[in-house]
Amino acid sequence: MKETIYNIFCFCPDGVHITHCGIVAHERDGDDNQKLEFLSKQLETDLASCRAFHDIHPSVLDDDKKLTLTRYNTNLRVGNSYAPFELALEAVKAPANPLLIVTPVVQNKLQYHIKHPVDEQLRNEHTPNYHIEGVLDIPDYLNKYLTGSKFHLKKLINDDHMEPVKLLFNQKHYISSFKLLVSLIDTIAYLEYGDVKRNFQQWLDTYSEISKLDITSDEVYQLRNSLLHMTNLNSRDVLKKKHRRLSIAICKKGHPTQYHDEIVYFNFTDFLFIFDEAVDRWVDSYRDSKKQLTLIERYDEVLRDNF
């Protein structure tokens, strides 16, 4: 069947931000595979001859009115493949869901390395060097935890991170369990706020009710520092008397925080329940699609051992 097909180029001159796109149209007969093969062979020629340039659609821009190459790839991961180029497609009066190839032009060089069908969500298997001989393939978490438009974030956090925390706790490796838990808070705080100062404390203050344990987020952060670095209770700020010295206590649920021999002992069991409730509140905040995109962009950097 004869139809109009398109080569689209998204230009990333600094290697970070996509500034605009170009589009070249062709009328072709044949099946879809033949048409896509033709577009692939035309990339160099079409890039050189491209004269139709358009802005990126505002719907995919960040708060600074920019689109990074990383955020563009995140849009592909949730199936938002056409949105960045809607202005270009409207300008050439393209039909809905046209047959096309999108190729990034990064620092004036065509990037061929990702072979991604536009009608599919971008996954690990579309990227180069996905399979390393003799090494277990890392499954793409979105294959399991993104179904349709629903992102199962709580289950992802539980499977990737909370299961080891619970396993160590149930085996009575309490210090190791708490170490993993505060490391998880680090991870969640990064997912929420990025790599900024006090994100650990900010997440606890925003989503948790640790004040019920008569402790503060700063005090928990000092315990985190001393345990992860030295497996003791003596962070630098605690030694300088800037914060109270905290330690976990293994008690039945509801046992109150106690002060003994200059150490504040809070109930680890209660802390786990408070943390779980905080995660629920945090997950509920991800109804906004742009916020979800930011989380997926950052979670793509998180190391996983859930093979």
Token pair recorded at residue 59: 């719907």
CB within 8 Å of 130: residues ≥ 6 apart: 124, 137
Q: For residue 288, give its domain range.
A: 146-299
Q: Does residue 306 lie within any of the structural domains?
A: no
Q: Are residues 194 and 114 in the same domain?
A: no
Q: Are residues 195 and 108 in the same domain?
A: no
Q: Are residues 291 and 239 in the same domain?
A: yes
- What is the reported pLDDT for 283? 96
Determine which helix (DSSP H) or strand (DSSP E) holds 193, and give its type and residue range: helix 174-193
- SS in 3 state form for 44-58? HHHHHHCCCEECCCH
Q: Does residue 264 lie within any of the structural domains?
A: yes
- What is the reported pLDDT for 210? 97
Say what the pTM is: 0.90
Mean pLDDT by 10 residues, the chain (307 residues): 93 96 96 93 96 96 93 93 96 93 94 77 81 82 92 96 97 98 98 97 98 98 97 94 96 95 96 98 88 95 83
- What is the reported pLDDT for 307? 63
| Number of domains, the chain | 2
Cα–Cα nearest to 72, from 7, 130, 8, 23: 8
CB within 8 Å of 128: residues ≥ 6 apart: 113, 114
CA angle at 226 for the pair 280 and 276, rounded to the nearest 5° = 10
- What is the reported pLDDT for 219? 98
Radius of gyration of the chain (CA): 25
Cα–Cα nearest to 6, from 111, 88, 120: 88
Among 78, 111, 137, where does a domain finish?
Answer: 137
- What is the reported pLDDT for 295? 96
Other C-beta atoms within 10 Å of 288: how many? 9
- What is the reported pLDDT for 115? 67
Q: Does residue 307 lie within any of the structural domains?
A: no
Q: Are residues 152 and 294 in the same domain?
A: yes
Q: Are residues 64 and 109 in the same domain?
A: yes
